[in-house]
Amino acid sequence: MDPIRLHMNELPWPPPEAVVNAAKTGLRELNRYADESKLQDLRNSLGQYTGINPERVILSPGSDILLREVVHLFSSQRKVITLCPSFLPTVRSARQTARSMSRIRLPLPDFRLDMEILESEIQGPCLLIMDNPNNPTGQTIISSQQVERLLQKKDLLLIMDEAYYEFAGITCADLVEKYENLLVTRTVDKVFSLAGARLGFGLAGEIFRMELSSFFIYLPRTTLYAALAALDSLEIMRERVEIIKQERDRMLGRLLEEEVEVYGTSANFLLIRTPIPDVLEKLKNRGILIKDISDQMPAGFIRVTIGKKEENDIFLKEYLALQEESF
């Protein structure tokens, strides 16, 4: 039996039938690269979905690839500022290319970003990369007003990774028209049930739009057609997001009842500080995959993606049984 996948922040349901059929059309045309006109259609659809001029939409096979490209382009002459914890692939990219890097700890118990520290770090040419909501804490760490204040700083480039936007409902995307030094990255992977198709995109302020003009990637036809169809089925996506949010809140309540150290989030996962030794392996043996995030958090932190109700129930049952055993 396949394990229950609660480790990658994917949506648990397959894509809607119309999206699968669209991908099949792409399959039949796999001998061809994607049409530029279809790529433009996708930019238009994403522009409509986000309310941003399609000319500012930059397509990428996964938002992490776009983030890596931006880090490579802009970090060699700049100090990179990011958060700890944060989305690690971006940090690793910056480590290879940045002139220097500062990571600001989001401390317990609420993982709040200290704006005073952040602003004191912004000296000279900087590339600030933040994920909002933050992964893996799941906290919304900055407001649109605070972002706007930062964007007025001279010589600052700001990348806002909004991979979990649809769950949190908070964005600063509208600022890309006004501020040339802002890039917002998003993903189609998660909420549209298209993780296996890999599609991310950027909403670029003018500096990023110009510099990324050569960043052109022919997306696979399957991905392209599937994404176009998915963007035509926004209602299904929104319904699914609502179900996940309800499940997230139900899980949170249940775990709190059992006195689990659990942190509510604005995303499609929960953060747990566990006292159970070898919890990953123990859950894996019970057919459940979760994410260990102790590489950038105090000991014992795990991240659990919200799955289908029945999957979540199995997780709750197994986790609470393990907790009982460990006491």
Number of neighbouring beta carbons within 10 Å of residue 296: 15
Q: Which of 65, 88, 252, 320 binds another protein (CB under 8 A)?
A: 88
Q: Which of 120, 145, 152, 214 binds another protein (CB under 8 A)?
A: 120
Does position 296 bind another protein by CB under 8 A?
A: yes
Q: Which of 31, 257, 299, 325 binds another protein (CB under 8 A)?
A: 299
Does position 128 bind another protein by CB under 8 A?
A: no
Does position 119 bind another protein by CB under 8 A?
A: no
Q: Report which of 157, 315, 180, 321 is spatially closest to residue 251, judged by C-alpha positions.
A: 315
Q: Which of 84, 210, 256, 321 binds another protein (CB under 8 A)?
A: 84
Does position 112 bind another protein by CB under 8 A?
A: no
Q: Which of 30, 117, 210, 256 binds another protein (CB under 8 A)?
A: 117
Q: Which is nearer to another protein, 104 or 241 (CB)?
A: 104
Cα–Cα distance for residue pair 196/223, rounded to 1 Å: 9
Cα–Cα distance for residue pair 191/117, rounded to 1 Å: 33
Q: Report which of 84, 88, 132 is spatially closest to residue 108, judged by C-alpha positions.
A: 84
**Of the ranges 17-25, 69-77, 225-233, 273-281, which one interacts with another protein (CB under 8 A)?**
273-281
Angle, alpha carbons 43-83-141 (nearest 5°): 70
Closest distance to another protein from the beta carbon of 236 (Å): 35
Q: Which of 294, 309, 313, 316 binds another protein (CB under 8 A)?
A: 294
Q: Which of 231, 297, 304, 322 binds another protein (CB under 8 A)?
A: 297
Size of the site for another protein (CB under 8 A): 28
Q: Which of 98, 173, 262, 283 binds another protein (CB under 8 A)?
A: 98
Q: Which is nearer to another protein, 98 or 203 (CB)?
A: 98
Check if the beta carbon of residue 128 is closer than 8 Å to that of residue 81: yes
- What does the chain come to in residues? 327
Q: Which is nearer to another protein, 19 or 297 (CB)?
A: 297
Q: Which is nearer to another protein, 155 or 278 (CB)?
A: 278
Q: Which of 102, 144, 146, 233 binds another protein (CB under 8 A)?
A: 102
Q: Which is nearer to another protein, 259 or 295 (CB)?
A: 295
Cα–Cα distance for residue pair 141/137, rounded to 1 Å: 10
CB-count exposure of residue 281 (10 Å: 0-12, 13-18, 19+): exposed
Q: Which of 55, 239, 278, 310 binds another protein (CB under 8 A)?
A: 278
Which residues lie near another protein (CB under 8 A)? Answer: 84-85, 88, 92, 95, 98-105, 107-108, 114, 117, 120-121, 277-278, 281, 294-299
